[in-house]
Chain A
Amino acid sequence: DVKVTQSSRYLVKRTGEKVFLECVQDMDHENMFWYRQDPGLGLRLIYFSYDVKMKEKGDIPEGYSVSREKKERFSLILESASTNQTSMYLCASSNPGDTQYFGPGTRLTVL
Chain B
Amino acid sequence: RKEVEQDPGPFNVPEGATVAFNCTYSNSASQSFFWYRQDCRKEPKLLMSVYSSGNEDGRFTAQLNRASQYISLLIRDSKLSDSATYLCVQRAGNKLTFGGGTRVLVKP
Residue numbers in B under 8 Å from A103 (CB-CB): 43
**How far, in whole Å, are A58 and B99 apart by their CA atoms in the complex?**
16
A34, CB-defined interface residue at 8 Å: no
B34 adjacent to A99 (CB under 8 Å)? yes
With A43-B87, A99-B49 already in contact, the answer to whether A104 and B101 are too (CB < 8 A) is: no
**CA A100 – CA B99 in complex, angstroms?**
15
Do A31 and B94 touch across chains, with their CB atoms under 8 A apart?
yes
For the complex, give the distance between the alpha carbons of A50 and B98 in Å: 19
Residues of A within 8 A of B96 (CB): 33, 45, 100
B87-102 interface (Cβ within 8 A of A): 87, 94-101
Q: Report Cα–Cα, A94/B43, bound state, in Å.
A: 15
Determine the distance from Cα of A66 to Cα of B34 in the docked complex, in whole angstroms: 27
Q: Which of A74-111 contact B (CB under 8 A)?
A: 90, 94, 96-97, 99-105
In the complex, the answer to whether A45 meets B100 with C-beta atoms within 8 Å is no
Name A102's contact: one of B44, B49, B95 (CB within 8 Å).
B44
CB distance A41 to B100 under 8 Å?
yes
Complex CA gap A100/B89 in Å reads: 11
Question: Of B44, B49, B94, which is within 8 A of A43 by CB?
Answer: B44
Q: Is B80 an interface residue (CB 8 A)?
A: no
28 example contacts (A-B, Cβ-Cβ < 8 A) are as follows A31-B94, A33-B96, A40-B8, A42-B87, A42-B98, A42-B99, A42-B100, A42-B101, A43-B44, A43-B87, A43-B98, A45-B97, A50-B94, A90-B43, A90-B44, A96-B94, A97-B94, A99-B34, A99-B46, A99-B49, A100-B96, A101-B46, A102-B43, A102-B44, A103-B43, A104-B42, A104-B43, A105-B43
B residues neighboring A (CB under 8 Å): 8, 34, 42-46, 49, 87, 94-101
In the A-B complex, the 4 residue pairs with the closest CB atoms? A102-B43, A42-B100, A43-B98, A99-B46
